[in-house]
Structure 1
Amino acid sequence: MDWLERMNRAMDYIELNLAGEIELSEVARKACCSSHQFQRMFSFITNVTLAEYIRRRKLTLAALELQNCKSAKVIDIAMKYGYESPVSFARAFQSLHGITPAMARQDGTALKAYPRLSFLITIKGVDAMNYRIETKESFEVFGMERVFRSDEGGDAPNTPAQFWQQCHANGEVEKLAANAGDLPRFVSQDSYKVHGICSYKNTGNDTFPYMLCAFKSETSNANGYSTITIPALTWAIFPSEPITWDVFGETIEKLYRRFYTEWLPTSGFEQVDGMELEVYGGKAGLHSVELWFAVRKI
């Protein structure tokens, strides 16, 4: 089964269950990946979160029923699409459509419709993508880790970006860099000492682990840190151009988006459990990032 078929099977499952319970773990299973991996991939491809897409589809169908089934009670339609009360339904409905459910029943009322998504391969210009495929032996990293919710809920810091900010502010990044030791040979010697790694173990359907990490070597001091072993894997590695920190956010987002929308659907590879490494580096006053995606041949 290829990438497009898997993604469209996940969309089919969502569409068939809009009036029932949608299990995000089952959506991900249809796409042959983890729940976090699917939600992450979906948001980069579509520029909308999976939860927001489902909400829009439910409210699109609810609006159609309000217009076409005049005898149906608002509370029944609300319950059908997962709202526990007419008040919560009306609030969500007005947020999307700009009018109340009652107004939606009037002839000539303008409503918004969000159609079902389908995944297709399209030609997107001629910009080259720089990447390389490397198979690496098992290695270890150590550092500070935290488990995050895919919906970015929970106590702050509730995103990896906030985790980085916190660890910079309290000096943990500098402390980890001082304990990192020498870089291993398989990493560019222009790399910095502290990096990021995501989805290196299973923490549940709707959560994922993230670690601010250093590569472990004979000169490292890993005492007091969490240590994880990364098995021998094949990596698809996508480097950025040299950049300044002010454009870092948009640069890394572009790399992720191009990987998911341009490279992965046509490469003949698939991700391994969503595991990713962010390897940071730089020279001559500029910075760079390499995104390492663990992959295997389909």
Structure 2
Amino acid sequence: MIAWLNRLVDVVEEDLAQELDVAGLAARSGTTEHHLRRMFSSLAGMPLSEYVRRRRMTLAAADVVAGGDLLGVAVRHGYGSAEAFGRAFRAVHGVSPGQARRDGGPLRTQPRLRFRLTVEGASAMDVRLVTTPAFRLVGHAARVPLVHHGVNPAIQQHVAALDPQEHVRLRALGDTEPRGLLAVSTDLDPDRREGSELTYLHGVAVSDAVEVPEDLDVVAVDAGSWAVFRAAGAYPDALQAVWAATATEWFPSNPWRLRPGPEVVAVLDRADDFRTATVELWLPVEGA
């Protein structure tokens, strides 16, 4: 996987002005665009699209300060107009091209990335592999922004607005794995950009034998394999640490890759104030 990611960085550098064919590169590397984008964002700490934009603007800044024609600079770096270039430039550097030319900065440089293998895994990960038939996730859904660290206020508000008896009703409906009340994330941005919208569903998993009430939202899930990681401790910190470790430790060491599908957190046990919990993280996977 490290070789795939470094080849991806090389391809980005070969022509920053061109649209990046991530799907083609993934196919030639024997993996999928979904998995490659997810691993890049997890390990680089930023989406691939953001890295490309920062690298473009790093090189473009030198042309701007050197006094090149702004439209010519824009076109050379992949933008169709000086206005679009100016917006991207300001988003990265915090100043307009004109201000950067006049004052020489401030300019924010994005170094070229290079992924390296480091020795990890001093602590064993608690994981099991499960193959499930098709099932449905049912409950109450809402569109919320993606938050990488800490509590997600939009999700917290969504769940808190439910009547306590609704949790009891949902639990009674669930009849298959993943068991218990579930936090489901689906329709995620391929690059996992902070603040991008996703569909969050608070609910349970049911088989075809269950008649689902009409007032509940439904997410159909195809048959397939799952990697199930257990996390225990401070919530949501312990869960987010395990989520990160799947990219840095588990996937590079195992012949599995992520496939499209919902990502599910099953709450097995929790404190009354939810400050600590034992949970399972269900990630859809396929053989590499």
TM bin (shorter chain): 0.7 to 0.9
Aligned to 2:50: 52
The corresponding residue for 1:33 is 32
Cα distance, 1:16 vs structure 2: 3.1
* Distance in 2 (alpha carbons) for counterparts of 1:18 and 1:174: 54
**Identity percentage over the alignment?**
23
- Asked if residue 262 in structure 1 is aligned to residue 257 in structure 2, the reply is no
Report the 3-state secondary structure (helix = DSSP H, G, I; strand = E; otherwise coil) of the residue aligned with 2:32. Answer: coil
Task: Identify unmatched segments of 5+ residues in structure 1.
Answer: 148-155
How far is 1:231 from its partner?
0.8
Q: Please point out which of 108, 131, 134 is paired with 1:136.
A: 131
Cα distance, 1:284–1:278 mapped onto 2, change above 3 Å: closer
Quick one: distance in 2 between partners of 1:44 and 1:99?
29
* Residue type of the alignment partner of 1:281: L
264, 268, 271: which one aligns with 1:281: 268
Structure 2: how far apart are the matches of 1:39 and 1:263?
16
Give the structure 1 partner of residue 206 of structure 2.
216
Alignment partner, residue 258 of structure 2: 271
AA at the equivalent of 2:238? T
Q: Once superposed, what is the RMSD of the aligned Cα atoms?
A: 4.0
For residues 219 and 165 of structure 2, the distance between their equivalents in structure 1, rounded to whole angstroms, comes to 18
1:59-74 alignment to 2 at 5 Å?
59-66=57-64, 72-74=68-70
Q: What is the deviation of 1:62?
A: 0.8
Task: Work out the number of aligned pairs and report it.
Answer: 272
| Match of residue 193 from structure 2 | none
Q: Say whether the 8 Å CA contact 2:159–2:202 is kept in structure 1.
A: no
Matched to 2:72, the amino acid is: D
Q: 1:6: how far off?
A: 2.9
In 2 relative to 1, CA 59–218 (structure 1 residues): closer, same or farther, beyond 3 Å?
closer
**Residues 254 and 23 of structure 1: CA distance in aligned 2, closer, same or farther (over 3 Å):** same
SS in 2 for 1:180: helix
- Kept in 2: contact 1:121–1:265 (CA 8 A): no
Checking the alignment, whether the CA contact within 8 Å between 1:239 and 1:289 is kept in structure 2 is: yes
Stretch of structure 1 that moved more, 264-273 or 92-101: 92-101
Displacement of 1:57 in angstroms is: 0.4
Name the CA distance, whole Å, in 2 between partners of 1:98 and 1:295.
40
When residues 264 and 173 of structure 1 are mapped into structure 2, their CA distance, relative to the original with a 3 A threshold, is farther
Runs of 5+ unmatched residues, structure 2: 191-195
2: CA distance, partners of 1:177 / 1:120: 48
TM-score (norm 2): 0.72
| Whole-angstrom CA distance in 2 between matches of 1:24 and 1:67 | 31
> Is contact 1:14–1:27 with CA below 8 Å preserved after alignment?
no
Give the structure-1-normalised TM-score: 0.70
- Would the aligned equivalents of 1:177 and 1:194 in 2 still touch at CA under 8 Å? no
Shift of 1:241: 1.5
Contact preservation (8 Å) 1:131, 1:236: no
